[in-house]
A and B are shown apart, each in its own frame.
With several copies, the nearest count.
Chain A
Amino acid sequence: MKLAYFAWVRERIGLAEEEVQLPAGVETVDDLLHWLKGRGANYDSALQAPEIIRVAINQEHVDHSEPLAGAKEVALFPPMTGG
């Protein structure tokens, strides 16, 4: 599965995107955020407050309860500030 990061999430993690293999038990967006948070100090810094992270699966906004089944690209980013 491809993960894409934007704005300060990208900066803190230090990557724009990466391919990951999800371990068993990581089934929802919420599971993914908590699993990522444990992968190192950079991830922990980006995901200090997972509840504020916005997530898109296959370029569609989703809630944190959304299952990851069928996800090819999962994007993590801060609340939007365009316009």
Chain B
Amino acid sequence: MKQHPDDAGSQGSAHAPARPTVRVETGRIDMAAETARLSGGGAVGGLVTFSGYCRDEGGRLAALELEHYPGMAEREIEKIALEAAGRWPLLAVTAIHRTGMISPGEEIVFVACASEHRQAAFEAASFLMDFLKTRAPFWKREHLVDGTAGGWVESKDTDDAAADKWHRL
């Protein structure tokens, strides 16, 4: 059976869903520019952003290398963003994921949801991250400060649980 983000269910709101901005890219994400673009106009009341960063794991990590499935990665993120725009009354939604080598302290992923009221923006941004973590085809591998390529990061049950909770809402 084909699996879709639609499995998460729809609250069937009547508004026209926001057209998502979705990108997969290697360069740094200009979060100020992305944020400014979303908050323009007088309709937006609240904007929630999430930025995920490369941690240094206590100084052990030199970099994370992000591999992705070109084509499918963009499509999966777009599907997740459209699902969010269908479930909540979003005025704008952006999701950008980096690939390649990323140093500690640098951003890996950026999502932003703008809405008239804050609750929708908070929930949609959290939903977007939970589904992006479990459905978008990206994989992290560690590069260690001692010069060795460390292992592939293992997926976390807590991420699956976080995504699953939206099915019950």
Contacts and interface: CB of A to CB of B under 8 A. Distances in A.
Contact of A4 (B66, B69, B152): B69
Contacts of A79: 134, 154-155
Contacts of B153: 81
A12 B69 CA distance: 17
A60 B2 contact: yes
Interface string A61-83: 11101100000000101111111
A7 interface: yes
Interface string A44-60: 00000000000010011
Interface stretch (B30-38, B55-63, B135-143): B135-143
A80 B97 CA distance: 13
B137 A63 contact: no
Contact of B152 (A8, A56, A63, A65): A8
Interface residues of B, number: 32
A6 interface: yes
B69 A82 contact: no
A80 B139 CA distance: 6
A75 B76 CA distance: 14
Nearest to B95: A83
Given A7-B141, A60-B2, A61-B3, A80 B72 contact: no
A78 B69 contact: no
Nearest to B118: A83
B66 A82 contact: yes
A60 to B, nearest CB: 6
Given A7-B139, A7-B141, A60-B2, A81 B154 contact: yes
Interface string B142-155: 00000000001111
B85 interface: no
A59 B72 contact: yes
Contact of B69 (A8, A56, A63, A81): A56
Contacts of A63: 1, 3
Interface of B: 1-3, 52, 66-69, 71-73, 75-76, 97, 108-109, 129, 132-141, 152-155, 159
12 contacts: A7-B67, A56-B137, A60-B2, A61-B2, A61-B135, A62-B2, A65-B1, A66-B1, A77-B137, A82-B66, A82-B97, A82-B138
